[in-house]
Amino acid sequence: AQSVTQLDSQVPVFEEAPVELRCNYSSSVSVYLFWYVQYPNQGLQLLLKYLSGSTLVKGINGFEAEFNKSQTSFHLRKPSVHISDTAEYFCAVTPAGSSASKIIFGSGTRLSIRP
């Protein structure tokens, strides 16, 4: 079975500062990893995904994440945040090749941007 831990429930940062949202996972098999963003009163939207290949994955809105197999981590980063990045971010994992039928979500990290 897989599990996901998002280490921070809330992350406050100042506008234009860098940010890192942490995600660790547990799995006995190879995995696919995802970051989703949820803006207020909306559904989830895919930011980026790691399926295979390069461990540095670039997503939308200037976000990127690095898959680290030895540390079982998939941290999300952005070098300079904007007010519009205020949202909740979810890390998710599924067994590789599983057709996404068993995606497990973390509990979410609420990113708040201060002007």
Partner 1 sequence: NAGVTQTPKFRVLKTGQSMTLLCAQDMNHEYMYWYRQDPGMGLRLIHYSVGEGTTAKGEVPDGYNVSRLKKQNFLLGLESAAPSQTSVYFCASSYPGEQFFGPGTRLTVL
Which residues form the interface with partner 1 (CB under 8 A)? Answer: 9, 32, 34, 36, 41-46, 49, 51, 90, 97, 99-101, 103, 105-108
* Pairing state between β 109-114 and 10-14: parallel
Report residue 88 CA to chain centroid gap: 10
Q: How far is the CB of 46 from partner 1 (least distance, A)?
A: 6
The residue assigned the tokens 């429930």 is 9
* Radius of gyration over every alpha carbon of the chain, rounded to an integer in angstroms: 14
- Nearer to partner 1 (CB atom), residue 16 or residue 50: 50
Q: How far is the CB of 47 from partner 1 (least distance, A)?
A: 11
- Nearer to partner 1 (CB atom), residue 15 or residue 104: 104
- Nearer to partner 1 (CB atom), residue 15 or residue 103: 103
Instruction: Count helices and strands (H / E) in the chain.
Output: 0, 12
